[in-house]
Amino acid sequence: MKLLINCLKGILLIAILTSEVKGQVYNNDEPFAHTFSVVAIDTASGEMAVGVQSHWFSVGSVVSWAKSGVGVVATQSFVNPALGTDGLKLMEQGVSAQEALKSLIASDNGRDYRQVAMLDKEGNIYAYTGKKCVDAANHITGENYSVQANMMLNDKVVPAMAEAFEEHADLPLAERVVQTMLAAQNAGGDIRGKQSAVLLVVNTKPVENEWMDKKIDLRVDDNHNPLQELSRLLKVHRAYEHMNRGDLAIEYNDMQLALKEYEAAEQMFPENLEMKYWKAIALANNGMLKEALPIFKYIFNEDNNWRTLTTRLPKSGLLNITEPEYRQILEL
């Protein structure tokens, strides 16, 4: 049976490479996304990630590829996007990252200009740097990660990335990837500067619904400081994770946990009126109007549109209080 499965994998590999051969030919009009990137896996959390920064507009649209239960890919330098799509196809069929990348590169006439890293759900990692990639170009593959870069200011960038990834083992995978990219920039980064960045995080296990595929999907397409903005967006993402957990706790009638989660979100972004507003709504709906009123008053003073929104919630069943309580809120 094992022999049969291996034979089928081989047939599948040949079929995909043959059918996609046109996508593996080097073209002069391919995206010129020289960049630095990291692919990584956290076996404890069951997460895989790919992070990229480049002096190229919307680098996330061409370099980074990821799918839950499959793997992640970074395809850069003179980008061949087919290395991303086909790499995921092969890994989804059980081909290892190493076997998939070696096979795809072998059939790519532009292989000398490519830089690619692939990681599969089993934690297998493989990277390739073509001999005509613009210096400084290199990659380092370590335990659970690969870092790679081309057209860097100096040859210190890739080693700095590897060091940073290993030093930040205490962080969640997404934050660890961001710190790794910040280290690349601090070591010199892209010789042309910086413009865009992306962070994708997926699960090592397949998801039930396609829309759940990306755990984190953040892109900065055009910014003077894309990594700083990406880091800010990741913090916003974490804050809204607290908000979502707060909402879920209310569904399970755990008000204590809900308030704890809402408070955690507020502490991360104390000026965010929406976070305060839905906390107040939750308080009001759970018989804690006294605690909610000062929050409503502050919000309405900052932006009266929230008062208008409040008038629309009862009809939608999102504000379930008595008429006197309702008037108390609106008269603030």
Q: Are residues 216 and 291 in the same domain?
A: no
In the predicted model, what is the mean pLDDT of residues 32-37? 80
Task: Specify whether 244 is located in the same domain as 208.
Answer: no
324 and 191 inside one domain: no
Please state the rounded mean pLDDT for residues 127-154: 97
Q: How many domains does the chain have?
A: 2
Q: What is the mean pLDDT of residues 83-88?
A: 97
Q: Specify the range with the lowest mean pLDDT, choosing from 27-31, 115-119, 161-165, 317-321.
A: 27-31
Q: Are 226 and 220 spatial neighbours (Cβ–Cβ below 8 Å)?
A: yes
Residues 195 and 246 reside in one and the same domain? no
Chosen domain end from 223, 249, 265: 223
Q: Is 251 part of any domain?
A: yes
Query: Does a structural domain hold residue 229?
Result: no
- Are 298 and 150 members of one domain? no
Q: Indicate if 99 and 135 belong to the same structural domain.
A: yes
Domain with residue 99: its CATH number is 3.60.20.10
In a domain, 234, yes or no: no
* HSE (side-chain half, CA atoms, 13 Å) at 300: 17
pTM across the whole model = 0.87
Asked if residue 303 belongs to a domain, the reply is: yes
Residue-level pLDDT at 255: 84
Confidence of residue 20 (pLDDT cuts 50, 70, 90): very low
| Cβ contact 231:223 at 8 Å | no
Least confident stretch, 30-34, 178-182, 230-234: 30-34
Q: What CATH number did the domain enclosing 266 receive?
A: 1.25.40
Per-residue pLDDT at 220: 98
Same-domain status, 248 and 287: yes
Band (pLDDT 50/70/90 cuts) for residue 234 is very high
- 232 in any annotated domain: no
165 and 105 in one domain? yes
Containing structural domain, residue 301: 239-330
CA atoms within a 13 Å half-sphere pointing along the CA-CB vector of 321: 24
Per-residue pLDDT band for 180 (boundaries 50, 70, 90) equals: very high
Q: What percent of the chain has pLDDT over 70?
A: 90
Last residue of a domain, one of 158, 189, 223: 223
Indicate the pLDDT class of residue 27, thresholds 50, 70 and 90: low
Is the predicted pLDDT of residue 140 greater than 90, yes or no?
A: yes
* Token pair listed for 107: 């059939």
> Which residue, of 190, 223, 256, is where some domain finishes?
223
> Is there a domain that residue 233 lies in?
no
138 and 265 within one domain: no
Q: Tell me if 158 sits within 8 A of 139, measured CB to CB.
A: yes
Same domain, 203 and 264: no
Mean pLDDT in the chain? Answer: 91
Residue 296 inside a domain? The answer is yes
- The CA–CA distances, whole Å, from 123 to 41, 92, 141 equal 6, 14, 12
Q: In the prediction, which pLDDT does 28 show?
A: 52
Q: What is the pLDDT of residue 3?
A: 40
Question: What is the pLDDT averaged over residues 205-222?
Answer: 95
Please return the burial class of 177, using the count of CB atoms within 10 Å of its CB with bins 0-12, 13-18 and 19+: buried
Question: Is the domain of 144 the same as that of 251?
Answer: no
Q: Are residues 164 and 63 part of one domain?
A: yes
Instruction: Pick the more confident residue, 315 or 15.
Output: 315
**Does 46 map to a domain?**
yes
